[in-house]
Amino acid sequence: MPANKKYLTQSPLQRFLKITAGFVGGFIITEAFHMVLALWFDFGAIMFTIRYAGFMLWAALMIVAFLAKSGWKIWGIYLSITLILSVIIYFSSNINSL
């Protein structure tokens, strides 16, 4: 059964942006989120948790990227989340080093 044409109207660039946002952007957010958790909680427990919860978070972020209408928009959202988490990591690590 052929696919419905109305679902295949994306440009190849939009498809590429969604795929890269899902794989790369989702992975970066997952790692940054667990780094924030590792700063606030027990490091060993978080490293164990990232094996399972990290995969589930990454898969959920990948699905969200594919559901988005625009690849540029999802990259903007993922990069802003990464920036926010990076700022939290930066300031939390500076406070802990004092």
Using CA atoms of 28, 17, 19, 8 in order, give the dihedral in degrees to the nearest 10.
160
| pLDDT given for residue 40 in this prediction | 83
Distance separating alpha carbons of residues 12 and 27, to the nearest angstrom: 22
Q: What is the largest CA-CA distance in the chain?
A: 64
pLDDT tens figures, 5-56: 766 677 889 999 999 999 999 999 999 998 898 888 877 778 887 888 889 9
pTM value is: 0.82
pLDDT tens figures, 81-97: 999 999 999 988 766 65
